Structure 1
Amino acid sequence: MLRAGMHFQVGELDSVVECCQRILLFDDKHTGAYFSLGLALHSLKRLPEAEAAYSAAFRIDPGHTKVVTQLTQLLMEQDRLADIGELLEAAIAHAPQDALLRYNLGLVFMKLGDDDAALRILETAIRINPRLSEAHVQMGLVHSGRNQYDAAIASLVCAMSLDTGNLNIVLRLALTYVEAGRLTEAIAVYERIIAAHPVDTDAHTALGICRLLLGDFRGGWPEYEWRLRTPYMAVPPTAVPRWKGEPLAGKTILLLAEQGFGDAVQFIRYAREIKARGATVILGCRPALSRLLAECEGVDHVVNEGDTAPPFNVEITLLSLPGVLGTTLETIPADVPYIRVPSGAGARAVAEIACCTGVLRVGLVWAGGFHTGSRHRNMVLQQFRDLLDIPGIKFFSLQKGEEAAQLADVDSELITDLAPYLGDFADTAAAIQTLDLVISVDTAVAHVAGALAKPVWTLIPFAPDWRWLLNRNDSPWYPTMRLFRQPAPGHWSSVIAHIAVQLTALVQEQTTTGKTVITDQISLRHFPPY
C-alpha cells in the first residue's frame, strides 16, 4: 500500500490501480486496497469499476466512514438517490448511533421529496447529537418548504445558537422571517448582519427589499442598489459612466433591462421621464421583449441583449432609475398605457379571440418562470378548475413554457390555448389588448396587461414580491390592476373562491348592461377589501 500511496501522490493513477489489484490477488479482504482502488478508478472516471471497488470495501468494513463517503459521492454524481439511501441505511444498521449518517440520509429523503421521512430521520439525528447544527438547519428548510414557519424559525434559531459564526444560517433565518410575514424581525436580523459585515451584499439587498415592501422607498432604494454587486443580479458593466442624475440634454443614455421580463416591462415606464430630460434613449433587453418595448413612450432605439449598441454617453439599469429619480410611494409614475401593441402583432391570436362574442373573454396564466420565489407564486391549472365552469365566460390560455402542457388535462372546450400564436411579448400584448380581462399569477403577463391599461387580476402569495406592497388590493404601479392575496401561506383555494364570486358578478353585470368590455368603473365596483 505504501507504493500505491506514492503513485497516488504524483498522479500516477494507472499505477495505483495496478498496485492495488496485485495486493488483492494475495488478500481479497484488504479494505484499504479496495478503497484506494476505488479512489484511483473514480479519479479516472471509470465509475462502474470504482463503484465495485468501494462496494467491496463496504462489505468488508461497513463502518469505514471514508468508504461510505466516497461511495455516496460517486452515486451522487450519477444522481442515484435511491441507491444512496440504501447505502446509508445499511451503514446505519452497523452504526445506529452515528448522527452524521442519519443526517445524510435525511438529506437524501429531502432530495427525493419525502419530507415526512426527512423530518423523522433528522429528528433522530438531533436526538443522538443535539449539537449537530446542520441537522437543525435542514429541519428548518423542510418546515419552511411546508409553510410551517414557526417550526422553521425555531430550528434555525437553534442552529444559529450552535454555530454562531455561520452567516448563511443567519441569512436563512432572516429570509424565513420574511416568508412568515414577520418583516420587523427580518429587518432587525439584516441590520445586525450589516453591523457585523458592512459590505455583505445579500444582507443589504434583502434589507432594501424589506423596506420597499413596507413602502419605505427612500430607505429601500439605496439598499436595493447592492443587488448589482451580487453574483445573481449583477449586470455586466460597460466602459461608460453610470448615470447618477446629472443633466441629460443632448446626451444618449443606455437603459439596461435586468432580472425578469416583468421587471423590464414595469420599469420601462421611466423612459418617458428620461426622454423628457432631453436624452436620446436606447434600451438593451432580451429579444422576446424588443418588439414590444420598441413601442414604449420615450424609447428611441432597442438593441437586443448581446448585440452592439450605438454609441452612448451614460448607462443605468432599469431598476436603478426610481432611486436616482427619487421615486416615493406618492410619486410613482402610473400614467397608463405606456406601451402600445405593434402593428400586425399577434394576428392569429387576435382572430381566435375576436370570433368569440357575447361572452366575457378572459386570459389565464398560472405559472411564471422559475426563480427564488416561484414555489410561492406559481400555481397549477387544476387550481383554476372551478373558474372554468362559470357560464358566460370564454377562457384563453396565455401560458407558455412547460406548464402549458397542463392544458392536456382540461377539456379544450373550456379553455383555448393561444401559446402556438404567441412568438414574443408583442404577440402576447396583442392578445391581451383583445381580451376583456386577464387573470394571472405574479408574472410578466400581468405587467404587460397593466402597462397596456387592461383590467388584470393578479394572484399574490402571502409573502409577496416587494412591488405589491402589503395590505392593499390595488397597485400604485398599475391603476387597472387588482390584487388577490393569499390570506395565509399556501392558501390559494380561498383566493380562487373569491375570484369566482367576482367573475360571476361581472358576467351578471354584462348580461344586465349588454357590455362586453370591462371598464375601469365596473372593475372597481367589484372589489371589496380582501
Structure 2
Amino acid sequence: MNSFSSPMLDQSIFDNANESLVLGDFEQAKHILSPYRHLRQNYQIMILLGIAMAGCHTPKEAAKYLCQAQQLIEKPSTHCCCELEPYLGRHYLHHLIFPVVDEAITLTPNDILLHVAKINILKHSGQFSLAVAHLKKTICAFPQHTNSLLNNLATLLYETGKYRSAYTLYKTLEDRNPNSFAVIANLAAYYNAINDVEQAFLYYRKAIFINPTLPALRLNYSLCLLKAQQYHQGWIEHEWRLKTPNHSSLPEATLMPSLTHDLDIKGKRILITQEEGLGDTLMYLRFVPELIKRGATVELWVSAVMEGLCRRLEGNPNVKVGGTTPPPFDWHCPFISLPRVLGAVPGKDGAAIPYLRAEPRKIAEWKDKLPKTNCLKIGIAWGGDPHPEDIAANSTDRKRSIPLYKLVPLLQSIKNAQFISLQMGAYAPQIHDLPASIHLFNPMDTVHDMDDTAGIIMNLDVILTVDTSVVHLAGALGKPVILMDRYDNCWRWISGQEYSPWYPNVRIIRQTRPKIWGDVIEKATSILQEMATKHQHKN
C-alpha cells in the first residue's frame, strides 16, 4: 500500500489503538494500526505497533518497530522498549517483554539505552539478581558509561534494601563528579528514606539549583518538606505534581486559588476531583466541610465505591460519580490541593476525627453477617494495590505490603481473638494458602464499596493493617488501628513517632531495617495479645 491509498491518519487512530492496548486487547490494536505500518517515519505509530506486536506474541516484529521508532527520536533519554511496561505490565505480562528486548538487543547491540532499559525492566519486575548481572555485563561492554551505570547499580542496591552499600556507591560517584544531577537527586532520595531530612533538604536544593523545573524532582522535594512537617511550604511545593504527565485534564486557569481572609467564596461552585489512590481521597475528605461552611457549593467527583461515604460528609456536598464530562464549576480543585487552598485560613487542619460516618443500616447488616463472638474482633489487611501499570507505585507497594504467610505466627498465637479479613484485590487470594488450623473469616467477597467496608469496620474492635486505604478509612471513622509500616515511611506517618497528627487513633509500628518485617510482627502480636486479654476480662 502506498501513501496515496492509505487511510487518513488522525488523532482518533492513536486514541483507539491506545485504548485497546490499555484494555489488553492487543489483537484489536494490531488491527487498528496495521493499515499504517508503512508510515515508518511516524515514531508514534511504530511504538504502538511494537507494543501491539509484543502483546500478540510476535517479539521479532515488536522489536523491529520499537528499534525503528528509536532511530526517529532526536536525543532520546530512554529506549522505546520502556514503553512496553505500562501496557503489558498492567496485565502482568512481563514475560512477553523480555523476548522483545532481547530481540532488540540482537538488532542494535551497541545501544546503551536499550541495555539500561533491560536492567530497569528486570528491576521493576522484581528480578533484582538478574538486573545486577546484566548491569555488570553492560559495564564491561560500555566502559565509557561506567559512572552512569554505577549510579544504576546504587539504585538497585537501594531498591533491594541494601542502603549502606547504595550510600557508599553514591558517595563514591559524588566524589568523582560533585555536580552530577542524577547522583545528587538519588542522594536526596536516600537521605529522605532514612529520615535524615536535613541532609535530604541539602541535596534536594542542590538538585533544584541544577534543574529547577523538573516536576518529579520538585514533587519529591515536597514530600520531604511534608515529612518534616513543614506543611505550608510543602503544600505549595506539592502542586508540582499537577505538571507531571497525565495528571489532570481540567484547565489550570480555573484551578482554585489559595484562600485568604478577604476572599469570599460564598456561592462559588467548586468541583473537587479524585486523584491518585482511594487512601488519599479518604484522607483529604476532612477538608471538604470547611469549604461548605464558607458558603461554597461543593461537588465531589469521585468513583462509585466512594459515593455513600461522601454523601454523608458534614455539610452534605453534591456528589458526581464517574463519567468524563465535568459538571459546571467556577473553580476545580484536586483533593490533594485542599490543604494548600486552606493553608492560610482558620480550618486549615480540616474536620476532627471522626469525620466519616458509616451508614447505620450497613453497620446493622454486617453485625448479623460477622461471626458471633465475645472475642476481640481484629480486622486485618496485609496488601495494597500493586498498580502494575505504574512503576513507582508498584515499587512502593512491594515495600509496604506483607505476604500473608509472614503473618501466620501472629494469626496462630493470639488467644481469644477472631480475625476478619478486610483485604481486597490482588492479595486477597493468599487467604487460600493459609494452614487449615487458622480461621480467618472473609466477608470481602460480598463487599461492593467503601460503605460496606465501613460497616464491617464499625463492628470490629481494632484494625491491623499495612499502609493502604484501610488505615485511612478506619482512621477517619475513629477506630483503633495498628499500622505495620515500612522503613522508608510515607510522609504522613511521622518519622520517629508512634502516632500521626492526621490520625491520632493510629498506632504505628515501623520496620527498623528495610524490608524486614519480623520485629514489626512480633510487636504487633504482643500489643494485640494484651488487647485480647483485657477484652476477655471485660467480658
Q: TM-score range by the shorter chain?
A: 0.7 to 0.9
- Cα distance between partner residues in 1 of 2:352 and 2:518: 33
Instruction: Report the equivalent of 2:381.
Output: 365
Alignment of 1:140-155 (within 5 A): 140-155=154-169
Report if the CA contact (8 A) 1:432-1:449 is conserved.
yes
Instruction: Report the equivalent of 1:393.
Output: 417
Alignment of 1:515-530 (within 5 A): none
Cα distance, 1:121–1:244 mapped onto 2, change above 3 Å: closer
Per-residue deviation, residues 63-99 of structure 1 (Å, max 9, x unmatched): xxxxxxx9x99x999836379779989x99xx9xx99
Instruction: Report the equivalent of 1:379.
Output: 402
Which has more radius of gyration? 1
Please give the secondary structure, in 2, of the residue aligned with 1:203: helix
Q: CA deviation at 1:114?
A: 4.5
Q: CA deviation at 1:153?
A: 3.4
Cα distance, 1:111–1:447 mapped onto 2, change above 3 Å: closer
Q: What is the TM-score of this pair, normalised by structure 1?
A: 0.74
Instruction: Report the equivalent of 2:484.
Output: 459
- Cα distance between partner residues in 2 of 1:278 and 1:153: 52
Q: CA deviation at 1:438?
A: 0.8
- Cα distance between partner residues in 1 of 2:379 and 2:174: 46
Letter in 1 for 2:519: S
Report if the CA contact (8 A) 1:84-1:108 is conserved.
no
Say yes or no: does 1:402 pair with 2:419: no
Instruction: Report the equivalent of 2:188.
Output: 174
Instruction: Report the equivalent of 1:475.
Output: 500
Cα distance, 1:513–1:170 mapped onto 2, change above 3 Å: same
Instruction: Report the equivalent of 1:217.
Output: 231
Aligned pairs, number: 459
494-503 vs 240-249, which moves further: 240-249
Instruction: Report the equivalent of 1:425.
Output: 450
- Cα distance between partner residues in 2 of 1:172 and 1:232: 24
Which of the residues 248, 251, 267 maps onto 1:250?
267
177-186 vs 190-199, which moves further: 177-186
- Cα distance between partner residues in 2 of 1:9 and 1:137: 45
168-177 vs 428-437, which moves further: 168-177
Per-residue deviation, residues 484-506 of structure 1 (Å, max 9, x unmatched): 11112112110110010011111
Say yes or no: does 1:306 pair with 2:323: yes
Report if the CA contact (8 A) 1:253-1:313 is conserved.
yes
Q: CA deviation at 1:214?
A: 0.8
Q: CA deviation at 1:317?
A: 2.0
Please give the secondary structure, in 2, of the residue aligned with 1:496: helix
Report if the CA contact (8 A) 1:346-1:422 is conserved.
no
Letter in 1 for 2:487: F
Per-residue deviation, residues 327-360 of structure 1 (Å, max 9, x unmatched): 79x973462211111243376543222x422101
Please give the secondary structure, in 1, of the residue aligned with 2:441: strand
Cα distance, 1:200–1:242 mapped onto 2, change above 3 Å: same
Which of the residues 439, 456, 466 maps onto 1:441?
466
Letter in 2 for 1:363: G
Cα distance, 1:294–1:112 mapped onto 2, change above 3 Å: closer
500-509 vs 177-186, which moves further: 177-186
Which of the residues 96, 104, 111 maps onto 1:79?
96
Instruction: Report the equivalent of 1:25.
Output: none
Please give the secondary structure, in 2, of the residue aligned with 1:466: coil
Instruction: Report the equivalent of 1:505.
Output: 530
Letter in 1 for 2:530: A
Q: CA deviation at 1:416?
A: 1.0
RMSD of equivalent CA atoms: 4.2
- Cα distance between partner residues in 1 of 2:350 and 2:117: 52
- Cα distance between partner residues in 2 of 1:251 and 1:311: 11
Instruction: Report the equivalent of 1:281.
Output: 298
Say which structure, 1 or 2, has more relative contact order (CA 8 Å, 6+ apart).
2
Letter in 1 for 2:331: V
Q: CA deviation at 1:421?
A: 1.9
Q: CA deviation at 1:121?
A: 4.8
Report if the CA contact (8 A) 2:287-2:348 is conserved.
no
Q: What is the TM-score of this pair, normalised by structure 2?
A: 0.73
> What fraction of aligned residue pairs are identical, expressed as a percent?
27
Which of the residues 197, 205, 215 maps onto 1:191?
205
Instruction: Report the equivalent of 2:25.
Output: none
Report if the CA contact (8 A) 1:462-1:487 is conserved.
yes
Per-residue deviation, residues 143-193 of structure 1 (Å, max 9, x unmatched): 122111232234445566778887555434432332333433322222122
Please give the secondary structure, in 2, of the residue aligned with 1:210: helix
Cα distance, 1:296–1:304 mapped onto 2, change above 3 Å: same
Cα distance, 1:121–1:161 mapped onto 2, change above 3 Å: farther
- Segments of structure 2 that go 5 or more residues without pairing to the other structure are 7-39, 41-45, 65-78, 89-94, 387-392
Per-residue deviation, residues 367-406 of structure 1 (Å, max 9, x unmatched): 1113252122111111211221112111111101121010
Report if the CA contact (8 A) 1:446-1:456 is conserved.
yes
Alignment of 1:102-141 (within 5 A): 110=123, 113-123=126-136, 125-126=138-139, 129=143, 131-141=145-155
- Cα distance between partner residues in 2 of 1:229 and 1:103: 26
Per-residue deviation, residues 285-338 of structure 1 (Å, max 9, x unmatched): 11111121111113421111335555433332222222232279x973462211
Cα distance, 1:346–1:130 mapped onto 2, change above 3 Å: farther
